[in-house]
Structure 1
Amino acid sequence: MTTTVRTPADLGADPEGLVDMAWDPITRIVGSLGIYTKIDFKQREVVECHSTSSIFRGYSIFMKGKDPRDAHFITSRICGICGDNHATCSCYAQNMAYGVKPPKLGEWIVNLGEAAEYMFDHNIFQENLVGVDYCEKMVSETNPGVLAQAERTEAAHADAHGYRTIADIMRALNPFTGDFYREALQVSRWTREMFCLMEGRHVHPSTLYPGGVGTVATIQLMTDYMSRLMRYVEFMKKVVPMHDDLFDFFYEAIPGYDKVGLRRTLLGCWGSFQDPEVCNFAYRDMTEWGRAMFVTPGVVVDGKLVTNDLVDINLGIRILLGSSYYDDWDDQEMFVRNDPLGNPVDRRHPWNQHTNPHPQKRDLDDKYSWVMSPRWFDGTDHLALDTGGGPLARLWSTALSALVDVGYVKATGHSVQINLPKTALKPPVSLEWRIPPQGSNTIERNRARTYFQAYAAACALHFAEQALIEIRAGRTKTWESFEVPDEGIGCGFTEAVRGVLSHHMVIRDGKIANYHPYPPTPWNANPRDSYGTPGPYEDAVQGQPIFEENDREHFKGIDIMRTVRSFDPCLPCGVHMYLGGGKTLNTVHSPTQSVGAQ
């Protein structure tokens, strides 16, 4: 599938001299994301942006009436990329609803699986999808003057990654022919194997359940995982300095490039990697075990930490509609009026949400997307939080909270330190991600993704060591039994690869009465809400300068594409399929037709 670009020749310019341009669908991602813009070529600026999605699926509808124990298997299929993140989050919500605490070894295994997923997905997206935006072929077509400067610019960390100039790095990123592009594909195989060792199958885990995992934990299992992990650690010692050189070059080569994709710093992180020494999944203790996560949850507003309390985060979630294709639920049932601590729960909270699809013709001045508009209410404003592509929010929240100081990682209050041990060919390396003075922009979202790959690898080293302690002590139980209550509620919080992920479940008569998963894409790709506030994609794109050297007749929109892809968009989680009244298809088979021929 290719992106259709509507050009000035197709559409003409409006009376104000603005040109309508659309990229629909956006390529190199899954799902039907369309970006519609108005561009002022005279001022070299994107003045307006609308983020659209044209497909509806109804997980929140057909989950009703299901056995709660099936929730993780069903919701895993929301996405064929981060399905395991959904399964994990669903199991967290079920653990809370059932009142079950998995054995420590079971939780270390889940952490090892999720760490492998972060390493796998960030690697393949960064190097084989985002990297193409910065490769020699792309830069030669959009900014030949920048490529010429790259040929003359020595790479500061050439001794660490082996590329003499910035142009050499760009050539290495060329799709299919670049040596680094091909190397990253091989690395993605190691990380997928690591995941399968822990959870049986990628991307829909077969050994992950509420109460723990079905994985048989042995020293050999951990050895197989560690042998691949250490190769990945060695790879990261090359990748981080290489990307630092590349991204720093763009700031130097194009003055003002820090404004590309820049929006107000409004970041949300729901935390990741449970500490089984603290976590019991009880709502009453959620503040404590949330802060014990190895990725600290938090809401960051204008660069400052507002809260890292998962109870506050949970209660602040609001689902707004605005420009999305749904009818409101003001007059429908409230499932949860108070949380287990007695705090009031808003009607617009996921526990109380109803999904009422209302398909209609797209109108950019009214309704134009199937993605709803999640917001976080701080008591005054409904904030359009974004995930920073996932890693930016995770590292920023963890750094400011300064709660992590274990194994190979430490949060300092202004940075995150990552210590990678000696590997086969390289000595120990210490890395440090620092809160970027540029703020939340396109380059820093991409840079954070590289550093978080190293962070996930360092965390995995710690998790493997802790798992081996349990195995060697003979504490090899990985699953705890439970009973499904007749009535109950649960919420799960974690980080999908692209950012915040929550699952909210209500159980009645032993069945699911309400279920709402909220992955990162609805938070990032949403349209203007009922207050007229643009969604994060829209906000990051509109107002950004244009540095592409092509004239408007040959404009490719590379800076717009870089900005959207910096969020790591993945639309299956945010959009849904709608069948209207439905159709019945009758298939008639000939009596002589063989089963195999059907």
Structure 2
Amino acid sequence: MTTKAEQAQETRQLVDMSWDPITRIIGNLGIYTKIDFENREVVECRSTSSLFRGYSVFMKGKDPRDAHFITSRICGICGDNHAVCSIYAQNMAYGIKPPPLADWIINLGEAAEYMFDHTLFQDNLVFVDYCEQMVKETNPSMLRRAETTEAPRGHLHGYRTIADIMRAFNPFTGAMYKEALQVSRLTREMCCLMEGRHVHPSTLYPGGVGTVATPQVFTDYLVRLVRALDFVKRAVPMNDDVFDFFYQALPGYEEVGRRRVLLGCWGAFQDPNVCDYDYRHMDEWGRAMFVTPGIVVDGELITTNLVDINLGIRILLGSSYYDDWQNEEKFVTHDPLGNPVDQRHPWNQTTLPKPQKRDLQGGNYSWVMSPRWHDRRTGDHLALDTGGGPLARLWTTALAGLVDAGGVRATGHSVEINLPKSGSMPEMRLEWHVPKWANTIERNRARMYFVAYAAALAFHFVDEALNDVRAGRTKVFTDFDVPDEAIGCGFHEAVRGVLSHHMVIRNGKIANYHPYPPTPWNASPRDVYGTPGPYEDAVQGLPIFEENGPENFKGIDIMRTVRSFDPCLPCGVHMYVGGGKVLRQVHSPTLGTSVTG
């Protein structure tokens, strides 16, 4: 028996449309939709991944001390985030605490990485979707209105109208587009000063760093940080002006990419005065992070406890190309506090790949598994998303109200960011407020605010590092031995969201290792309970505001929504609309091989 909803869908005129690839690294993300153009709605969405990486398979048997060098190669964009997270897991497994200066140096490197990556992504990739050229092609009537709409914050950024801002982000020609590339170079240099190189660090190790801590290296970092501030102070109000305009010009636009508020943040920037990397104290040092870990459900911060966050992680299947490991060996039965560890936890996962044909009609269709967080209050397996990284980070930090350092302060409902005087601009106070929605606009808006947040904290980290150097506390490494048997977990924030590494050591070698970056959380397919992943959930039900008809439809709001989660750098967007030419390859002994329609 079919339901009324299914009967209604059957009577609709649905058009299959797909964008594959649409990922931002290596072309393995596909978005497959069914669209009702008559009612201007995306009815259904499937998120697919065509690539199997296999790090959890070939890490077995390796020397644990190589883990951060190997796992940094998971990504060519945020490899340093993986290296840092792996080092955190190793510090725990080896039972070591690095010297405080080492943690300040890592914090400085990661602050620069956030500034680098978010600036490049926001201004050179995301804003292409909001620039004059794109709006002209998809919503020309909106562009006409933008030409006559004064920019409310023009006195801060220097652009008179909303259309002027849109032109500034035109690719290759726009002033802000080009300036963002220069700022990305500055911030990448800052990262290299602390971590040796970008994107695969050469000076980060378990136990500390190999960076030579001199006043000069921190001064070189600080000079670049101050130079980047002018751009940040203009970029934030420019973002606000454009995003506020979209809400005003397109009533109902808040529904684009909107999903239930289910946000996860694993925390970032350790406080070496509190953090000892001991699992038994993880709640304490987790809450001392300069970005507060936490889980937000329907607007409520339900925990900031990293132990609870860790124990709640579940890796589900359902629509993925893997066999279940329910009957495989259980590596960890209890955590160091005596809490039971679930079979579906990363410590106990066994990766059993099962290649097969893609089946979008109720079958398996992705190499991504379905990470979920088990809410013990309700028994639900929540499809948390990261808000593209910044939205979840700012949201959890704001609600927790724990951070008050380095020019940033969490108020319980907002985050205040105070930036010092820079080259051509005075001191500036910014405030990010917890929004009404977790949607496309707010994911993108939070990104540039977090650049400002990272910049403000970077000044604090420089001060702390220089204080150590001036006091003669220049040690940056603690020696260690690899134990025969141990477990460790690292929690960090990759640029685009939650990042965890779970490691099991036996006989001095890696017996099990599972890195979980944000994209598996965001790009996960439907799980065993039928729950869609965040991309799928955010796209299906999306209202269509684009003015083009089915024949010229670009799917701009679908693209904006998926990109708002920051799925990594683009290698191209392809679109399939159903009818096309069938190519036939013909081989002639005299003419060779040719392709005909």
Alignment match, 1:424 = 423
| Cα displacement (A) at 1:87 | 0.2
1:115 to 89, 111, 117: 111
Structure 2 SS opposite 1:221: helix
| Cα displacement (A) at 1:43 | 0.8
Alignment match, 1:457 = 455
| Cα displacement (A) at 1:343 | 0.1
2:375 to 371, 375, 378: 378
Alignment match, 1:16 = 12
| Cα displacement (A) at 1:15 | 5.9
For 1:477, give the aligned amino acid: K
Q: So what's the TM-score if we normalise by structure 1?
A: 0.93
Summarize the alignment of residues 357-376 of structure 1 with structure 2, pairs less than 5 Å apart. 357-364=353-360, 365-376=362-373
Summarize the alignment of residues 360-509 of structure 1 with structure 2, pairs less than 5 Å apart. 360-364=356-360, 365-379=362-376, 380-437=379-436, 439-509=437-507
Structure 2 SS opposite 1:507: strand
Structure 2 SS opposite 1:80: coil
| Contact 2:23–2:569 under 8 Å retained in 1 | no
Alignment match, 1:8 = none
Summarize the alignment of residues 531-570 of structure 1 with structure 2, pairs less than 5 Å apart. 531-570=529-568
Task: Say if 1:377 and 1:475 are closer, same or farther in 2 by CA, change over 3 A.
Answer: same
Alignment match, 1:166 = 162
Tell me the alpha carbon deviations over residues 385-426 of structure 1, each in whole angstroms, 9 at most, x when there is no partner.
000000000000000000001121000000000000111211
- Are 2:314 and 1:318 equivalent residues in the alignment? yes
Mapped to 1, the partners of 2:522 and 2:500 lie a distance apart of 14
Alignment match, 2:586 = none
| Cα displacement (A) at 1:546 | 0.4
Structure 1 SS opposite 2:17: strand
Structure 1 SS opposite 2:33: strand
Tell me the alpha carbon deviations over residues 158-210 of structure 1, each in whole angstroms, 9 at most, x when there is no partner.
11111100000000100001111000000000000000000100000000000
Q: So what's the TM-score if we normalise by structure 2?
A: 0.93
Tell me the alpha carbon deviations over residues 251-284 of structure 1, each in whole angstroms, 9 at most, x when there is no partner.
0000000000000000000000000000000000
For 1:153, give the aligned amino acid: T
Structure 2 SS opposite 1:505: strand
Mapped to 1, the partners of 2:188 and 2:551 lie a distance apart of 43
For 1:504, give the aligned amino acid: H
Task: Say if 1:362 and 1:503 are closer, same or farther in 2 by CA, change over 3 A.
Answer: same
| Contact 1:51–1:527 under 8 Å retained in 2 | yes
Summarize the alignment of residues 187-202 of structure 1 with structure 2, pairs less than 5 Å apart. 187-202=183-198
Structure 2 SS opposite 1:230: helix
Mapped to 1, the partners of 2:440 and 2:202 lie a distance apart of 36
| Cα displacement (A) at 1:498 | 0.3
| Contact 1:31–1:571 under 8 Å retained in 2 | no
Give the root-mean-square deviation of aligned CA atoms.
Answer: 1.1
Tell me the alpha carbon deviations over residues 267-323 of structure 1, each in whole angstroms, 9 at most, x when there is no partner.
000000000000000000000000000000000000110100000000000000110
Mapped to 2, the partners of 1:436 and 1:48 lie a distance apart of 26
| Cα displacement (A) at 1:14 | 7.7
Task: Say if 1:303 and 1:223 are closer, same or farther in 2 by CA, change over 3 A.
Answer: same
For 1:118, give the aligned amino acid: Y
Mapped to 2, the partners of 1:56 and 1:570 lie a distance apart of 17
For 1:352, give the aligned amino acid: N
Mapped to 2, the partners of 1:211 and 1:155 lie a distance apart of 50
Tell me the alpha carbon deviations over residues 469-507 of structure 1, each in whole angstroms, 9 at most, x when there is no partner.
000001000111011000000000000000000000000
Alignment match, 2:54 = 58
Tell me the alpha carbon deviations over residues 429-457 of structure 1, each in whole angstroms, 9 at most, x when there is no partner.
000000002x1000000000010000000
Structure 1 SS opposite 2:289: coil
| Contact 1:506–1:513 under 8 Å retained in 2 | yes
Mapped to 1, the partners of 2:82 and 2:51 lie a distance apart of 20
For 1:383, give the aligned amino acid: L
Alignment match, 2:517 = 519
For 2:187, give the aligned amino acid: T
Structure 2 SS opposite 1:87: helix
| Contact 2:23–2:30 under 8 Å retained in 1 | no
Mapped to 1, the partners of 2:53 and 2:439 lie a distance apart of 31
| Contact 1:501–1:520 under 8 Å retained in 2 | yes
Task: Say if 1:341 and 1:129 are closer, same or farther in 2 by CA, change over 3 A.
Answer: same
| Contact 1:139–1:147 under 8 Å retained in 2 | yes
Mapped to 1, the partners of 2:125 and 2:175 lie a distance apart of 15
For 1:345, give the aligned amino acid: V
| Contact 2:23–2:568 under 8 Å retained in 1 | no
For 1:396, give the aligned amino acid: W
**Share of identical aligned residues, percent?**
76
For 1:506, give the aligned amino acid: V
| Contact 2:24–2:567 under 8 Å retained in 1 | no
1:296 to 292, 296, 301: 292
| Contact 2:24–2:568 under 8 Å retained in 1 | no
| Contact 1:521–1:571 under 8 Å retained in 2 | no
Alignment match, 1:4 = none
Alignment match, 1:147 = 143
- Are 2:63 and 1:67 equivalent residues in the alignment? yes
Alignment match, 1:274 = 270
Mapped to 2, the partners of 1:58 and 1:108 lie a distance apart of 33
| Cα displacement (A) at 1:27 | 5.8
For 1:399, give the aligned amino acid: A
Structure 2 SS opposite 1:490: strand
Structure 1 SS opposite 2:172: coil
Alignment match, 1:586 = none
Structure 1 SS opposite 2:125: helix
| Contact 1:109–1:198 under 8 Å retained in 2 | yes
| Cα displacement (A) at 1:234 | 1.9
Alignment match, 1:342 = 338
User: How many correspondences in the alignment?
Assistant: 559
- Are 2:223 and 1:227 equivalent residues in the alignment? yes
| Contact 1:395–1:416 under 8 Å retained in 2 | yes
For 2:508, give the aligned amino acid: G
Structure 1 SS opposite 2:56: helix
Tell me the alpha carbon deviations over residues 321-373 of structure 1, each in whole angstroms, 9 at most, x when there is no partner.
11000000011100000000000000000000000000000001210000000
| Contact 2:56–2:512 under 8 Å retained in 1 | yes
Q: Which moved more, 1:24-33 or 1:378-387?
A: 24-33
Mapped to 2, the partners of 1:183 and 1:506 lie a distance apart of 45
Q: Which moved more, 1:527-536 or 1:233-242?
A: 233-242
| Contact 1:95–1:281 under 8 Å retained in 2 | yes
Mapped to 2, the partners of 1:424 and 1:42 lie a distance apart of 53
- Structure 1: state its 5+ residue gaps: 1-12, 573-598
Alignment match, 1:308 = 304
Alignment match, 1:157 = 153
| Cα displacement (A) at 1:28 | 5.0
For 2:310, give the aligned amino acid: N
- Are 2:176 and 1:180 equivalent residues in the alignment? yes
Task: Say if 1:571 and 1:321 are closer, same or farther in 2 by CA, change over 3 A.
Answer: farther
Alignment match, 1:259 = 255
Task: Say if 1:28 and 1:341 are closer, same or farther in 2 by CA, change over 3 A.
Answer: closer
Structure 2 SS opposite 1:386: coil
| Cα displacement (A) at 1:30 | 3.8
For 1:141, give the aligned amino acid: E
